[in-house]
């Protein structure tokens, strides 16, 4: 029944050790987004894909990369996690980018950096 | 100054009370307004969507928008313990980017 699935739900990594977070969707939506949400803060858009077109937010650190090998899957790669990267990472999808295209969120992956 | 300001609370109310949540914003280009509900350890889910000034009702929930004051509100009537969650306001201008508030954590006590 789940529409946007994120794995793992909890991820612990060491400082500087690369980590990959996974998102998959059963909605066949064109757009997939990655947000970073720190405690008691608003979700912050990192980047998004419209189909295969990648759009990076200007203030997203180079440490964060993404891949979308097909419509259903999207990955967030953190090349060298720092302590400041500990956060909830939310994946979202939408049919299009119009203002009536609702974004559907996954349950998030909580990343801990030791 | 943040584009969207939201009081983080926390807000604690007894069951049956009216919950009042609000956000202010600074960007007059924002035209579309949403409220998301986020349960603990879950992603946000869309609760209400409105794009005009005035009130919109959906069951126990009422969303209110005042564009002249750049102020939006969400009211929850007859609140239930199951309404305990973090409520985030969000808004669009004319592009795809959602601007979120930081969220208000609400606890409804049985």
Cβ contact, residue pair B92, A105, below 8 Å: no
Phi, then psi, of A30 in degrees rounded to 5: -80, -30
SS3 annotation, A48-111: EEECCEEEECCCCCCCEEEECCCCCEEEEEECCCCHHHCEEEEEEEECCCCCCCCCEECCCEEE
pLDDT band at B2 (very low <50, low <70, confident <90, very high): confident
Give the tens place of pLDDT for each residue, A63-108: 999 999 999 999 999 999 999 999 999 999 999 888 778 899 999 9
> Taking CB atoms and an 8 Å limit, are A99 and B92 in contact across chains?
yes
| A105/chain B closest Cα distance in angstroms | 5
Interface test with A, best of B2, B98, B101, B105 (most A CBs within 10 A): B98
Q: What domains can be seen in chain A, in order of their start residue?
A: 4-106 (2.60.40.10)
Residue-wise pLDDT tens digits, B61-108: 999 999 999 999 999 999 999 999 999 999 987 677 889 999 999 999
Omega of the bond leading into A8 within 30 degrees of 0 (cis)? yes
Cβ of A105 within 8 Å of Cβ of B102? The answer is no
User: So what's the pLDDT on residue A2?
Assistant: 64
- Higher per-residue pLDDT: B98 or B35: B35
Would the pLDDT of B8 be above 90?
A: no
Classified by CATH at the fold level, domain B4-103 comes out as Immunoglobulin-like (2.60.40)
The pLDDT assigned to A102 comes to 86
Nearest CA in chain B to A96: B96
Q: List the single residue in A42, A94, A107 with the smallest CB-CB distance to B100.
A: A42
């Amino acid at each position: 029944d789940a529409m946007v699935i994120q794995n793992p739900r909890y991820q612990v990594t060491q400082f500087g050790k690369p980590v990959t977070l996974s998102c998959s969707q059963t909605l066949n939506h064109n757009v997939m987004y990655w947000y970073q949400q720190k405690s008691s803060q608003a979700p912050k858009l990192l980047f998004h894909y419209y189909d295969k077109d990648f759009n990076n937010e200007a203030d997203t650190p180079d440490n964060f990369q993404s891949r979308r090998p097909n419509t259903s899957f999207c990955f967030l790669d953190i090349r060298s996690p720092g302590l400041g990267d500990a956060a909830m990472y939310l994946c979202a999808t939408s049919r299009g980018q119009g203002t009536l295209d609702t974004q559907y969120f996954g349950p998030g992956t909580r990343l801990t950096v030791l | 100054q943040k584009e969207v300001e939201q009081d983080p609370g926390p807000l604690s109310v007894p069951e049956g009370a009216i919950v009042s949540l609000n956000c202010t914003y600074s960007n007059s280009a924002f035209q579309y307004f949403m409220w998301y509900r986020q349960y603990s350890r879950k992603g946000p889910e869309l609760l209400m969507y409105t794009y005009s000034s005035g009130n919109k009702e959906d069951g126990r929930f009422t969303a209110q928008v005042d564009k002249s004051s750049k102020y939006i509100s969400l009211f929850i009537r007859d609140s239930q313990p199951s309404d305990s969650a973090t409520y985030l306001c969000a808004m669009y201008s004319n592009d795809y980017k959602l601007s979120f508030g930081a969220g208000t954590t609400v606890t409804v006590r049985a």
